[in-house]
A = this chain, B = another copy of it.
Amino acid sequence: MEAKSWLSIPQGSHFSLSNIPFGIITTASSQNRRPAVAVGDQVLDLAEFSSNGGFSLLTSILPHISVFSQPTLNAFAALGRQVHREVRNYLQDIFTDDTTHPEILKTNTILQQKAVFPLKDVQTHLPMQIGDYTDFYAGLNHAYNLGVMFRGAANALQPNYTHLPVGYHGRASSVVVSGTPIRRPWGQILENPSADPKVPVFTQCKKLDLELELGAFVCRANKMGEPIPVDQAEGFLFGFVLVNDWSARDVQAWEYVPLGPFNSKNFGTTVSAWVVLPDALEPFLGNGLENKTELQAYLKEARNENIYNIKLEVDLTSKCSQMTGFHWNDAHDLIAKSGTTTITRTSSRNLLWSFPQMLAHHSITGCPMQVGDLLASGTISGTEPGTEGSLLEQSQNGKVSLKLQGGDERKFLEDWDIVTIRGVCGNNESSLVGFGECTGRIEPAVQGWPF
């Protein structure tokens, strides 16, 4: 959609009229968490908008209007894809220069004053109450790179890898919204893996890493015992966010046998604040990585083009220790002022499995999915240097240093480093569909341990 808005939307904005992502905000004047949409560099407060008759011409939403006064998007999500579509289409019309209903907002300056705020003045919050969080491993190049590193090229991918979307259950309580500080964890690590016997030390994590991922929130529950067919799975997906699944690589190496990552992943996972709906991303569907393995029927999609083509970048801003009181708007200012290096440029096409396939596999056992569940893709890496979605890959597990602008070097993250993931679809600067930023700053480990 190339329509022009009566709101001023800057060229290059992630939040063009083609997007209309949903989030949860508070403002200086009201600490009540409530839904909003982002448009350009402004937001529309849906609690104010709905309680002042903003939806009066969208009669289908009126029986459900209370969803816009909830502190999370779960109730709105639970209304289902058709309602999300109607609300998004309606808001696109309301914001369009030649809107069919100028009296709703375009010429209603009183409601504009009540419900439209600069994006930089709002605080964003976790958009959903997350029941369970599942992290997949669908980035084939990432899995391959790690396999080469730890097992050699001949056995880089495990035999199951191309047959099913490998995943594990993550820690839902540690999922936080973009801008939340991430504290460096303590843990047991094995400093000398070849020693006998193997005796770990207790230390602050020394290999703190980021993971560039894409995430999806679930908007529909299946009954326990009843799998979700792959071709119905898209209807279970509310929308998408960027994910940084922060990882303590040294903790992970010692703890993960035989039951998988645990403490190395449960100290924080950051999601971007604005949930981008599948309808906004639909034009950017294409092919992911080719899977030559003959799939089991429950994983075969009727649709061939099943992976979004999202341009992804990771920025590392070195040691922003001067700042206290951190949220994503502050980060944005700081990043502009500080030395920032784009360390990764890649694409979400580097996935072997689609979200519908992940959901079909996850539920094939009858596992009950619930509204608000978060699925993440696993780390997304390309095949070339500078396209890897983790420092573990970029530094070859600490063997080489990344050069940062300003002369710093990194193998893993240092205290006060800011990591910012960005993702955006499209080439036309006036109709981009983007995710904004998924950012977090590393704070020093708790002092005084052990007690």
Most chain B CB atoms below 10 A, which of A225, A254, A298: A225
Chain A residues 157 to 191 lying within 8 A of chain B, measured CB to CB, are 158-160, 163-164, 166-174, 176, 181, 183, 185-188, 190
* A364 lies within 8 A of chain B by Cβ: yes
Contacts of A200 in B (CB 8 A): 160, 163-164, 296
Given A202-B298, A248-B365, A366-B446; A373-B158 close (CB under 8 Å): no
CB of A98 closer than 8 Å to a CB of B: no
Question: At the interface, yes or no: A325 with Cβ under 8 Å from chain B?
Answer: no
Q: Is residue A197 contacting chain B, with contact meaning CB distance below 8 A?
A: yes
Q: What count of chain A residues pass the 8 Å CB interface test?
A: 69
- Given the known interface contacts A159-B197, A188-B164, A255-B160, the answer about A262 and B169 at a Cβ–Cβ threshold of 8 Å is yes
Contact B449 A263 (CB under 8 A): no
Docked-complex contact A137 and B259, CB < 8 angstroms: yes
Count this chain's copies in the assembly: 2
Across the interface, name the chain B residue whose C-beta is closest to A164: B188
Are B449 and A173 closer than 8 Å at their CB atoms? no
- Asked whether A267 is an interface residue with its Cβ less than 8 Å from the other chain, the reply is yes
Nearest B residue (CB) for A364:
B186
Taking a contact as CB atoms under 8 Å apart, the answer to whether B451 and A176 are in contact is no
Whether A260 and B261, one on each chain, are in contact in the complex, defined by CB atoms closer than 8 angstroms, is yes
> Out of B163, B226, B259, B298, which one reaches A261, CB within 8 Å?
B259
Residue-wise interface mask of A (231-261) relative to B, using a CB-CB cutoff of 8 A (1 in contact, 0 not): 0000000000000000010010011111111
Task: Specify which of B170, B254, B369 is in contact with A173 (CB 8 Å cutoff).
Answer: B369
Report A304 CB to chain B, min CB distance, Å. 19
Q: Are A173 and B368 in contact (CB under 8 A)?
A: yes
15 A/B residue pairs, CB under 8 Å, sorted by A: A131-B173, A137-B259, A160-B257, A163-B188, A164-B188, A167-B259, A169-B266, A173-B368, A174-B367, A183-B225, A185-B366, A187-B365, A188-B296, A256-B260, A260-B261
